Structure 1
């Protein structure tokens, strides 16, 4: 299941996951040489920035400006992947320039 991803991410060492993905540890250990780090959320009341999770949430926020990423308009997953790559390329170029 994870082998196609592993071939593209040869330098990856750690996978950060939410508490919902605790069962993923067995698959990662059996198929890959990666370490799974579950990001624990603190049970305090109110808002708190959780480590690593804000990076993902910020990226999803950036995608909000792209109409084709707002809903699932594409029929094929490779088209969706291309749109995500295109959006990240444009976002990166805008931040550099």
Structure 2
């Protein structure tokens, strides 16, 4: 996909792929308002909730906004995911999957040991 298109135009194929993988609920920022939400609901049976930013100055924690940042931080803890040193993009993708699986399995092991 070219880099000179808007995020909202690139969201259609991404939402279509998400729907194929069984995802039914998505949080988005205010750029994805309007026709995209109704298209996703009627065409793909996806619920897209826009996380509204308060109109107050200063820092405010936005609901569900931290989930993506937290997940990227967990994956970046692994040395091979912190730098782009893989020869092929597919290799890096595999390392991201392995890092996520390692993180989830360690969390599951901690839950079952108590």
What TM-score results when the alignment is normalised by the length of structure 2?
A: 0.63
- Matched with 2:78 is 66
- Runs of 4 or more, structure 1, over 6 Å off, are none
- Matched with 1:37 is 49
Are the counterparts in 2 of residues 3 and 31 from structure 1 also a CA contact under 8 Å? Answer: no
- Matched with 2:16 is 3
Q: Which protein shows a greater Rg?
A: 2
Distance 1:28 1:87 in 2: 30
Are the counterparts in 1 of residues 75 and 81 from structure 2 also a CA contact under 8 Å? Answer: yes
Offset of residue 25 of structure 1: 2.4
What is the RMSD computed on CA atoms of the aligned residues?
Answer: 2.4
Distance 1:27 1:71 in 2: 37
Consecutive unaligned residues in structure 2, runs of 5 or more: 1-12, 110-114
Higher helix share: 2
1:15 to 26, 30, 37: 26
Count residues in correspondence: 94
